[in-house]
Amino acid sequence: MRSDDRMMTGRTVHRLTRRRFLEVTLATGVMAAGSLLASCRQEAATPVPGGQTPATGPTIVTTPGAVTEFPRNETFFVAGFQWGPPTTFNPMTPGTGWPAGQGFNTPFQHLYETLFGFNLLTGGLEPRLGQRLEQPDPATMVITLHAGTKWQDGQPLTADDVIFTFELAKDHPEVPHNTFFDYVATISKVDDRTIRLELQKDRLNPGFVKLLLSGVKILPKHIWEARAKSGQTLTEIVDTEPVGSGPYKLVGFSPERIALQRDDNYWGIAVFGTPAPKYIVHPIFKSNDEGNLALEQGRVDISQQFVPKIWEMWEKKNLPVGTWFKQPPYHVPGSIPLLFINVNKKPWDNPALRRALAHAINYAQIAELAMSRYSITANSSLIIPDGAEQKFFDQANVERNGWKHDPQRAVQILEQELGAKKGNDGIYVLPDGTRLGPFKVECPYGWTDWQTALELVAQSAKDVGIEINTEFPDAPVLFTRIPNGDFELALWFVNGVSPASPWIRFRDVLDSRGVPPVGQRAFWNYNRYNNPAVADLLDRAAAAQSEAEQKELFTELDRIFMRDAPAIPLMYRPLEFYEYNESVWTGFPNSGNPVAPPQQGGAGIKILYVIKPKS
Amino acid sequence: MDVAAAPRPRTAKRWHPLVITISILRLGGIGINTRFWVSIGLLGAIVVFGLLGPTLLGKRDPLRIVGGLYDPPSSQVWLGTDNFGRDVFTQLMYGTRTSLTIGLIAGAVATLIGVAVGTLAGFRGGTIEEALMGITNVVITIPSIVILILLSIAIASRSIVVMGVIIGITSWPWTARAVRAQTASLRAREHLDLARLSGAGTVSLILVDIIPYMLSYIFMAFVLQFASGILQEAALSLLGLGPTNTISLGIMLHWSLLWEAVRTGAWWAFFPPTVFLTIIAFALLLLQSSLDELFNPRLRRK
């Protein structure tokens, strides 16, 4: 276990690393995790939570001649994405230095850019390197690049760079977008500004392709072609002088901070304008408290850290701090941590028992206590009832087929459907003599909101007569055991909101195709749920051409999910926590001023264009 | 002959029971210092709070959720609620009980192992001493917190007893070394020769002729082990490796740190357990040092 701590911090002081570990994982858990699963069927990289540096030992690299003076009114301070000392800015390395990485769910645009930026509020793709995305027919996509796109070293950025980047998926299985050609038959150049994609007709899934178009960072062919041909594993290349196409250049990094400076020759100035901050600095904090205190004191302008009771900052302390909403849930829901139930382990193979547990859990309490009110009460649906997925959410379906906190109903299921009898110790015993507990529910140590949620699940379950004990092993242990199907009950993540959601979430939970048997690593469906009716519905939903048709199919999939309850949604988490302090910069977007979505990656780069220095 | 002048025969002095009690408490005029009484008072208060508190104030489940995230103290929740919305005051009572129990078990186990190893090594000498002290010296060089952490990770479900035993079996070496030294000096005394001549075996010699002669020392060692056991439990719990499905002072601190009670100003979540841990450790050390003074005349104050 300690080796993983070391991996992140290069330290061996136990207390500190343990604490650090917790903060790293807490802050970046779901977000980074989502990216791992976005596409990775044969994921080669080690699935470690994001924000951590790769296992290159404690070597600390600092760029020579780095900028070290940052006038406060020209500098924008960011927190919550980088823990541990940065060692590389290779966008393909898992846990690479901010802002080169962070996967498909939070693709930062500062340094490297994607073709399009995903907007988590609308679900749409917004122009970035790409100006237009046209679909002349369901299986064809035509991308037009903006005029004048160029790299930070002055070389032009053309269709060749785009095609080069995506074609890495052909002979480099280690790249994050290695499943690109499962869904795309050909990618070809029409001219220097135009790229044409022919999708696989038998696996038509435009949503998934859009996820990659908005998630894959375009690489400079003139730099990376030689590296790709050298036979090296691309993810292992250490790049400390990245050449991107974005509005900011890396001008310095050390174990204390990463510093970016605005590139005044940026190609996009003509299209997007000039971002306000001259410098962007991400201080690297030792702990969550430290970063949260910095936000409170205005030393950090925008943060992605979990801040318990953030409303007290403006309600009690009158600080110019804000989140997206001024009232609960404060954040836009973006992902659903799911309580996975091992459907192949007795007695959990009985869906009635799973539904009994689902009725026992007090979801409002989890939202209030574990999520510090940053979640609305969880529904029994796999569709997030807000933001980009709201259009697919079917409240009537949830009410008819789903569950909600109802201990009496849980007891009724236990006694009438399962014929269980309550023992003297208050725990039910099934007719075959199986006592309902003690069962083991797990999540990684240090993911505090998750740990708290599971403690509450255990308490709720005990109240109806099911004994569940919590256990919190270190994250790397569960990153092996859960995909291998080696668990009883576990809180785990699936894909958050993206151009491919909610389809991709239904696949993550219900699709048994491509899932190896227990003991081998699965990339979705960790509890090996199997239902032959699902595959066809999923394929039709992926290829569906109208929203109405999609909604109908998702409703049917949701109904199957709620009937069989292979997993239980416990709460909603935002894709990124979005917290700002207006002491130095003002004009941050929020629900009253929604000029940019509450995300620092994807379409959220617009935040940098709408804020203004206070003085 | 002047009878009256004859010296009066000396009559045996009759002790009033009250005088006996006082003299026992003053231990024959040695005088137990104030520190002793302060430490006993503090410990007594803590023990009463931990053991009788839940009974006197009505048994409440310390894991029951009664409020919201860090509700401040009120007439319902005297010390506010923790991050789970659980009553901090109730947790403090049960946490004190758990911490005391673990400390007691850890102290007893450590003292038992330490005394067994120390007396055997000191009394038998030779190869056995070499071997036992070799093991002790090896164990002493490994920081016990490392072993503690590894053991705690290896054991998935840690009850209060298991925690106490784990802490106990990692903290005996110092006792063993000190006890060995004491035993070695006792070994040469005449009463042991007499006992040996009358045919007593090793075990009987150790139990009857050695241990009673250093009982005061062993008791003080136990008090120290007790205090360190409580602090070790707090350290482990702080790392999230404490006893499962219960509450202890260390677990309270663990959650208050995870939920940033310090930054959010929820003093009731971290201050009471800290104060309690400090008082318990302080009282036990005070007890130990006052006992030391009592048993060791050279340290006695004038």
**pLDDT tens digit string along A523-553?**
899 999 999 999 999 999 999 989 999 999 9
Where is mean pLDDT largest: A248-257, B53-62, B137-146?
Answer: A248-257
Q: What is the pLDDT of residues B271-283, one digit of tens each?
A: 999 999 999 999 9
CA dihedral A429, A430, A433, A434 (to 10 degrees): -80
Asked if residue A532 has a cis previous peptide bond (ω within 30° of 0), the answer is: no
pLDDT tens-digit series, residues B1-26: 444 444 554 555 556 666 655 555 55
Residue of chain A minimizing CA distance to B149: A14
Q: Which of A261, A237, A224, A211 is nearest to A111 (CA)?
A: A261
Percentage of residues of chain A with pLDDT beyond 70: 88
* Mean predicted confidence (pLDDT) in A477-502: 92
Q: In angstroms, rounded to a whole number, what is the distance separating the alpha carbons of residues B83 and B258? A: 9
- Distance between A14 CA and the closest CA of chain B, angstroms: 9
Which residue is associated with the tokens 């971002």? A275
Q: CB A293 to CB B263 under 8 A?
A: yes
Cα A5 to chain center, whole Å?
22
Cα end-to-end distance, chain B, whole Å: 49
Whole-number Å distance between alpha carbons of B136 and B173: 5
Q: Give the number of A-B residue pairs with CB atoms closer than 8 Å.
A: 69
Distance from CA of A517 to the nearest CA of B (A): 26
- A338-569 has which fold? Dipeptide-binding Protein; domain 3 (3.10.105)
Q: Peptide bond preceding A569: is omega within 30 degrees of 0, i.e. cis?
A: no
- Helices marked H in chain B: 17-25, 34-47, 53-56, 88-124, 126-141, 144-154, 160-168, 173-187, 190-197, 202-204, 215-238, 249-258, 261-264, 267-295
**A12 contacts on B by Cβ (under 8 Å):** none
Edge to edge, what strands does the sheet with A321-323 contain? A248-253, A257-262, A279-283, A75-79, A302-303, A579-581, A321-323
Tokens found for residue A466? 């099911």
* DSSP output for A387-400: GGGGGG--HHHHHH
**pLDDT tens for each residue of A384-427:** 998 889 999 999 999 999 999 999 999 999 999 999 999 998 99
The complex scores an ipTM of 0.73
Nearest to B84 among A14, A446, A452 (CB): A452
Mean pLDDT in residue range A472-496: 90
* E strand or H helix that includes residue A303: strand A302-303
CB atoms within 10 A of CB A323: 26
DSSP string, B206-273: IIIIIGGGGHHHHHHHHHHHHHHHHHHHHHHHHTT-S-TTS--HHHHHHHHHHTTHHHHT-HHHHHHH
Cβ atoms A112, A219 nearer than 8 A: yes
Q: Report the alpha-carbon distance of residue B103 to residue B283 in Å, rounded.
A: 14
Distance from CA of A369 to the nearest CA of B (A): 5
All residues at 6 or more sequence positions from B79 whose CB lies less than 8 Å from its CB, including other chains: B73, B87, B88, B89, B92, B268, B272
A234: which DSSP letter?
G
pLDDT at position A127: 95
What are A495's two structure tokens? 């894909």
| Helix (H), strand (E) at residue A452 | helix A448-464
Q: What is the pLDDT of residues A416-450, one digit of tens each?
A: 999 999 999 899 999 999 999 789 999 988 788 89
Can you read off the two tokens belonging to residue A444?
């990684």
List the single residue in A296, A459, A469 with the smallest CB-CB distance to B244.
A469
A425 touches chain B (CB under 8 A): no
How far does chain A reach from its first CA to its final CA, in angstroms?
Answer: 48
Cα gap B95→B50, rounded to integer Å: 8
The residues that bridge with A259 in the sheet, in sequence order, are A252, A281
| Helix (DSSP H) and strand (DSSP E) numbers for chain A | 19, 24
Residues of B with CB under 8 A from a CB of A: 63-65, 68-70, 83-85, 145-146, 149, 153, 156-157, 238-240, 244-245, 257-260, 262-265
> Judging by DSSP bridges, how do beta strands A279-283 and A302-303 pair with one another?
unpaired
Give the confidence band of B53 by pLDDT, cuts at 50, 70, 90: confident
